Structure formats: structure tokens, C-alpha cells
Amino acid sequence: MIEMTPKLSHRQLLFASTALLGANIGSSTFSFAMGLFLLKNYSSAAVFGLSQAIGPVVSLLIAPILRTFIDKVSKQRIISAAQLLSICGLLLFAALLQLFKLDFIVAILFILVVLRIADQIFDVAYMASVTLIVNQHDIPKLKSYEQMVSSFSTIVGPVLGAACFTAFGMNFTIFIVLELLCELIALIVMRWLKFRAEPQITAVTATQNELAYIFHDHLLFFAIWLGSAINFFYSAFSIGLPYIQIHILKLSSQVYGFSEAAMSIGILLTSLVLSRKSGYAQPLFTSWRTAVGFSGLFLVMGSVLTIGLPSKLIFSIFIISFNLIMGMMLAVLDTPVLVWMTERIPNELQGRVFNIMRTTVQVLMPIGIIIASWSFDHVAAGSVFLVSGILFVLIVVLYPRFFNLSLKGV
């Protein structure tokens, strides 16, 4: 039995953050390289959209399988197995390209599926392990550190990816090697973590239905629904902004990389502030209020695109500033509600509930991506953002009132 002293809990914070940093830097660089390759070689937003839609679809398909063992098997073993799956998938991806000369698009689809399966397993197991690796007092700090690590990685990833593109072109070997090294570092450091004994799964908790638990807890259901709505509408940004920069305005890869990094800088700065908090007085209300403001960003982008800006330089400055603000809002949206959920959900149910949560918040993403991809190919970009913003504002504002939920104080 491990005694989680304050000193050990602090050391665990550093280990977990270091492991996530290693994995995220490799993943961010690798993802940026694939996305930029698809944008530069295929003129349709649908091709880029397909690469973005694969992940949520895979997550949806493996969710029923994951729920059968996530709360029954050691979380540390599950995390290690997920990282080994990523490493094996990358090695096979390299073999498909170098030895078997498989078509690049087919190989990309393969590795996207493998990495998403590994990521889904890792993320659910890790989210359910937070209470096992740190004291409750350190949970808000750990969640903020996770946001900081993620945002720092996505600052470094696009810049590093753009630099590798300039130096090596489409020699994907460098990206594969970099991702493999990062995954190995993450695997080694994650094995250094010490896990508390996991809660015993009784006959009652083993058969307890996580869906019934979620539906019974109206506030938890609202938190999951809010995440689903944000992810659905965020598809307009994730598909539209890269498409606008590369194909409509034809901005350079460097500008694209810095605009992507700006969002992460916003998340990093805000997460740094949030990491100094020991808790949140009104986490759900804070996230909901921020979601209302976030929906307004769609209207701002739509208005700017409709009116137009006089030069590429001015738009470059605008898009970098816009992404910075969007990143700040995303941090405030995510961190408080994740801490609230970690503390609210019973330990013996966390694996299954977080599995449902991750699946549910992504289930609308493929639909959103398909709609956004078609829209940006056939409709003016400004109109797409304006319509998305109006719908988003209405849904987020009206939902609590429609279901008579009082979020103040929660």
C-alpha cells in the first residue's frame, strides 16, 4: 500500500507531466506534418476533413470494447499497453512506406486508426488514474499542468513540423523517428509513476450501468452535453481556419504554423494562471459562461471574412491574435469542469464514465467535420462561420433554461 505523501504527490505531478510532454510533442509534430501534407497536395477540404473525421469514428467503435475492461484491469498496465501499441503501429507504418511502398494516403489512414485506438485507451485509463497518482489537493494543479503540457507541445509541434518540412520536405522518416523517440521517453517515465491500490470492483459496481449513472446526474449529463456541443461546432474552426489560410489566402507554411501555435500559447498562459488555484468555486457555471463567449468568436470570424481585410499581413496578424484568444477560452472551458468531474465521479466508475464522456463529446465531430468540409467547398467561408455562431449561441444559452438547470454555485 503506497502512502501518498505531499512530497510523493508533487514528484508524481512532475513525472506525469514529463511523460505527457514527451508523447505530446511527438504527436503534435507528426499530426501537423500529416495535415500540412494533405492540405498542400489536395485542393479539396473534404480530404483534410476525412483525416480529421477518422479519429472520432474509431473512438466511437472501440468504446464498447474498452468499457468491458477499463475498470477491471490495472490502469498502469493499460497505459503501458497503449503506448506499446503506438510504437508498434509507427514501426509498421514505416515498413508500409519504405518496404512495401504502400500508397501514402492508405498508409496515413492506417496509422491514424492505430494511433487513435492507442490514444483512446491511454486517455481513458489516464483520466481514471488521476486519483491514484496524486492527492486530491493536487488534482486541480495536475489538470492545469496537463493543459500546459498539451499547449506547449502544440506550440513546439507546428513550428518544429514547419522547420522539418523546410529542411527535409516530405521525407516522412524524420517524423516517424521523432514520434518513436517521444513515445519511448513517455513509456519509460510513465513506468516510474507509483499507483495507489485501485478500488475493488464488487458485483454491484461491476454491473452498475454508467449510462444510467450519467442520466441520473443531471449536472454531469449537462457537462458532457456541453463538451459535445463545443466539439461539434469547433469543427468549423478546425476545418475552416486551415483551409482559409492555405487555399483561400495562400499564406505561407510558417504563418500557418505560428497561427496554430498562437492558440496553444493562449492555453498555456491561461493554464499557468489556473495552476495557481487550489480549486474552483463555480466550475460548471464558469465553463458555460465561457462557452457563450466562445460562440461569439464564430460571429467575429464570420464578420471579418464577410467584410474582408485589406492585406495578407493584416489578416495574418488578425488570425494569430484570434487563435490566441480562442486558446485562452478553451483552457477556461476545459480545466475547471475536468477537475469537477474527477472529484465528483466515484473511483470505481471513473474508467467507464470517462470512456462514455470521451466517446460522447466526439460522437458529433464526424458529422460536424463532414458538414464543415462540404460547406467550405461550396459556401462562402464568412457565411459558414456566421450561421455556425448563431446556432451555437442559441443552443448554449437556451439549454440550461429549457431543462431548468441552475448552474450558479456549481
Q: Which three cell numbers stand for residue 200?
A: 475493488
Our CA angle for 49, 55, 57, nearest 5°, is: 95
* CB-CB contact of 342 with 282 (8 Å): no
The CB density around residue 201, as the number of other CB atoms within 10 Å, is: 15
Averaged confidence pLDDT in the chain: 84
pLDDT at 248: 75
**Does 61 score more than 90 pLDDT?**
no
Report pLDDT digits (tens) over 202-249: 544 555 688 888 889 988 998 888 888 888 888 888 888 888 887 777
- Section 339-366 average pLDDT: 84
* CB-CB contact of 370 with 49 (8 Å): yes
Report pLDDT digits (tens) over 365-388: 778 878 888 888 888 888 999 999
- Section 154-167 average pLDDT: 80
* CB-CB contact of 118 with 82 (8 Å): yes
**Does 47 score more than 70 pLDDT?**
no
List C-alpha distances in Å: 197 to 1, 12, 82, 128, 132.
Answer: 6, 15, 20, 13, 7
pLDDT at 17: 92
Q: Which three cell numbers stand for residue 25?
A: 510533442
In whole angstroms, give the CA distance from residue 248 to residue 192.
Answer: 48
pTM: 0.77
Q: Which three cell numbers stand for residue 410?
A: 456549481
The CB density around residue 141, as the number of other CB atoms within 10 Å, is: 21
- Section 157-174 average pLDDT: 78
Q: What is the DSSP string of 294-314?
A: HHHHHHHHHHHHHH--S-HHH
**Does 65 score more than 50 pLDDT?**
yes
Residue in 150, 153, 173, 161 with CA at minimum distance from that of residue 37:
161
**Does 1 score more than 70 pLDDT?**
no
In whole angstroms, give the CA distance from residue 291 to residue 274.
Answer: 17
* CB-CB contact of 265 with 151 (8 Å): yes
In whole angstroms, give the CA distance from residue 25 to residue 215.
Answer: 37
**Residue whose entry in the numeric block shows the C-alpha cell 499547449:** 151
In whole angstroms, give the CA distance from residue 175 to residue 63.
Answer: 29
* CB-CB contact of 29 with 175 (8 Å): yes
Q: Residue type at 116?
A: R
Q: Residue type at 208?
A: Q
- Section 18-46 average pLDDT: 80
pLDDT at 91: 94
The CB density around residue 137, as the number of other CB atoms within 10 Å, is: 11
